[in-house]
Amino acid sequence: MDTQITIDQKYRFTTDLGQAGATVASGYPIDHFSKDKDEPGKVIFAFKREAGLDKVMEGYWIDAITVKPYKYYECLRMIKNRIRQEVYNKQPD
């Protein structure tokens, strides 16, 4: 697992787009995101800590969560559009 995951008191972070999409599809919205200063081209996704979040994020890596395929796809598309608009200041496709 080459993804950077940092845990603190208020937020849970990941740089993995797939994990972020599955987390959003499971009902946990992205609070904010930013460019990764250490690795250009990567984005750090921040999720506000709430009940069940850790279980979903950890469950992603061990194939222990289930999301509906179309919802997952829509979440990935929404995340990519937000990244283009908010991080790279580009218009959505």
Summarize the confidence of residues 10-19 as an average pLDDT.
Answer: 94
Residue 48: domain span: 5-87
More confident site: 53 or 93: 53
Number of compact structural domains in the chain: 1
Three-state secondary structure along the chain? Answer: CCCCEEECCCEEEECCHHHHHHHHHCCCCCCEEEECCCCCCCEEEEEECCCCHHHHHHHHHCCCCCCCHHHHHHHHHHHHHHHHHHHCCCCCC
Residue 43 lies in a domain: yes
Residue 36 lies in a domain: yes
Summarize the confidence of residues 26-49 as an average pLDDT.
Answer: 91
Please report the pLDDT score of residue 87 as a whole number: 75
41-88: pLDDT as tens digits: 889 999 999 999 999 999 999 999 999 999 999 999 999 999 988 877
pTM assigned to the model = 0.83
Residue 93 lies in a domain: no
